[in-house]
Structure 1
Amino acid sequence: MDIVILIILGLVAGTFGSLVGLGGGVIVVPALLFLSTYTTLLPHVSPQIAVGTSLVVIIFTSLSSTLAYIKHKTVDIKSGLFVFAGSGPGAIVGAWINSWLHVDNFSVYLGIFIIVTSLLLFFNDRMKPMKQNNKRFTIQKTFASPEGQTLVYGFHPISLIAVAFVVGLFSGLFGIGGGSLLVPALILLFFFPPHVAVATSMFSIFLSAIVSSATHISLGHVSWFLALSLAPGAWVGGKLGAWINTRLASRTIVMVLRVILILIGAQLLYEGIF
């Protein structure tokens, strides 16, 4: 029964993670902590094990969705490699910091981060991108949107790598894909079209998850039983989320995710404080 629940959890996390470019860790980590603390379905899972296991699962989700997005030509591989140049080292630093976190404080840290993530998603639709000045971009790109518009976006490599380092640090620290910060940053700071931002985010998450999960594996922070049980659902969910993203408006699903993140964050804060 526990394996069935883990497969379903992987499916849900993979679908939402792929749909909006989050990776799925924001669902897997708190779910594992909850199931191990308040039910008898799982043995005790420490925060470090939850994070390390989540990052291994994110590899399956992000690879599955990236392959699907590549077929639709929405992955900007060159930009994704620049993102990885920052997120890779950041993920290593985050994984190292994670090993020093006190267990009692982890729920508070993670709860605050998840609530901030939900607020970023909530205000993302209402925030206007900064006035575009393409001349400040060293690298410029164009994208033909599904509506037939030719959209221009770009970035300066140093600024993109710096933003990506911060994203990678949070990824390794909290076991999340980092897309909750990366996708809004790509849209608001570098004018990436949303479809490209989500797809490129999943590609860079795949690369950084390999680095950060390898670090957690070396530290003994991975439960292979949990990872292999979550992986099949995560793989299918990654493809399902990409399919929904390319065919349907995701506004309603994202709104549901915002509410779920706020509830999860509030629960973790309550546990950590009381």
Structure 2
Amino acid sequence: MDIGYILSGFAVGFLVGITGVGGGSLMTPLLVFLFGFKPIVAVGTDLLFAALTKTGGVWVHHGKHKSVDWKVVGLMATGSLPVSAVTIYIIKHLMSVGKEITGLITFALGIALILTACALLVRSLLLRKHEREVESSSISTGRFQGTTQIALTIATGAILGALVTLSSVGAGALGTIAILLLYPKMSTLKVVGTDLAHAIPLTAIAGIGHWSLGHVDFGLLGSLLIGSLPGIWIGSHLSARIPEKILRPILATLLLLIGLKFVLA
């Protein structure tokens, strides 16, 4: 167990506990720039890390708050899980024919970070602008209706499936924004719970896929988990005392700069 990995896990977990987002978008660049891991290994390890750490959050949202809309989760997963599996297959094929995939992963990571940075700022504006009432069925109260509603939700899942599998980034902030826009009358608590519930199978499928390709460092994964779990717990308890309106723009700016570095590398 490396103390540096444990402290990094704690720091990222702490920020996630305070802001509610930023796990993959902070962890993957940290592993690449600070510890020198290959982008593909950082992505694969972070995907399994995300799947494990987010599971506890869903138990809270589903069991205590009843704030997961499983219909929306199912529709998004209908798009995201098959696309994630196909993306893993494409990566495997490119590796088998000797293609260098580091550039592809790095570019995808940069794009995902830039989109996440923008999403963090937009998310804050949307949450402040709308007072949402809890609805018994978000499907019937979305911005669109009928087959259009279903098709857009599945398509959103498909886009997230490819982006998250390539970069490990986007399941949180981008998923939240998509649900906010598609289902504007859904309560904020249910938006967060639904996005979290969808992120778990997506990151699990993508992470297992990368594991099958040898892109997961389990020693690193264990160290990150040891640090992150208490970090999330402490950050969650301090979140009410630390002004999010200050932290979120700083986090968004940091992710934007890191994203640009990846894209322009």
TM-score of Structure 1 vs Structure 2, range by shorter chain = 0.7 to 0.9
SS in 2 for 1:85: helix
SS in 2 for 1:227: helix
Is the contact between residue 64 and residue 236 of structure 1 (CA under 8 Å) also seen in structure 2? no
Confirm or deny: 8 A CA contact 2:69 2:138 kept in the other structure. no
TM-score between the two structures when normalised by the length of structure 2: 0.78
- Which has the higher mean CA deviation after the structures are superposed, 52-61 or 90-99? 90-99
- Report the Cα distance in structure 1 between the residues aligned to 2:178 and 2:49, rounded to whole angstroms: 24
Deviations 1:194-234 (A, max 9, x none): 32222221111111111111111111110111111111233
**Counterpart residue type for residue 173 of structure 2:** S
* Residue equivalent to 2:70: 77
Deviations 1:45-74 (A, max 9, x none): 221111110101001221122223332333
Residue 161 of structure 1 pairs with residue 154 of structure 2 = yes
SS of the residue corresponding to residue 75 of structure 2 reads helix
Q: Given the alignment of the two structures, is residue 139 of structure 1 paired with residue 139 of structure 2, yes or no?
A: yes
Higher share in strand: 1
After TM superposition, the structure 1 stretch with the greater mean CA deviation from structure 2, 201-210 or 89-98, is 89-98
Specify the alignment match of 2:102 in structure 1: 103
1:187 to partner: Cα distance? 0.7
Alpha-carbon contact 1:21-1:199 (below 8 Å) kept: no
Q: Is contact 1:122–1:258 with CA below 8 Å preserved after alignment?
A: yes
Residue 48 (structure 1) aligned to one of 40, 60, 63: 40
Contact 1:26 1:114 in 2 (8 A): yes
Q: Is the 8 A contact 1:140 1:153 kept in 2?
A: no
Rounded to whole Å, the distance in 2 between the matches of 1:125 and 1:212 is 28
For 2:215 and 2:258, the matched residues in 1 are separated by: 23
Equivalent residue, structure 2, for 1:219: 213
Counterpart for residue 55 of structure 2: 63
Unmatched segments (≥5 aa) in structure 2: 95-99, 131-136
Q: CA deviation at 1:154?
A: 8.3
Q: How does 1:201-216 map to 2 (within 5 A)?
A: 201-216=195-210
Task: Please give the root-mean-square deviation of Cα atoms over the aligned residues, in Å.
Answer: 3.3
The verdict on how the C-alpha distance between 1:82 and 1:250 changes in structure 2, with shifts beyond 3 A counting, is farther
Matching residue within 195, 198, 205 for 2:192: 198
Give me the identity figure in percent. Answer: 27
Q: Distance in 1 between matches of 2:14 and 2:239?
A: 10
SS of the residue aligned with 1:139?
helix
Equivalences for 1:115-194 in 2 at 5 Å?
115-126=114-125, 139-140=139-140, 156-176=149-169, 178-191=171-184, 192-194=186-188
Deviates more, 1:105-114 or 1:115-124: 105-114
Report the count of equivalent residues: 248
Matching of residue 114 in structure 1 with residue 113 in structure 2:
yes
Letter in 1 for 2:116: T
Contact in 1 for aligned 2:40/2:105 (Cα 8 Å)? no
Q: Which structure is higher in helix share? A: 2
Return the alpha-carbon distance in structure 2 between the equivalents of residues 19 and 94 of structure 1. 32
Please name the residue that 1:259 is paired with: 253
CA shift, 1:88, in A, is 1.4
Looking at structure 2, the residues matched to 245 and 88 of structure 1 have their Cα atoms a distance apart, in angstroms, of 32
- Matched letter for residue 172 of structure 1: T
Q: Distance between the aligned counterparts of 2:241 and 2:208, measured in 1?
A: 34
Report if the CA contact (8 A) 2:172-2:195 is conserved: yes
Residue 75 of structure 1 contacts residue 199 of structure 1 at CA under 8 Å; is this kept in 2? yes
Aligned residue for 1:115, secondary structure, equals: helix
- Taking a change above 3 Å as real, the CA distance of residues 64 and 265 of structure 1, as seen in their structure-2 partners, is same
Instruction: Report whether the alignment pairs 1:27 with 2:26.
Output: yes
Which has the higher mean CA deviation after the structures are superposed, 71-80 or 171-180?
A: 71-80
Segment drifting more, 175-184 vs 154-163: 154-163
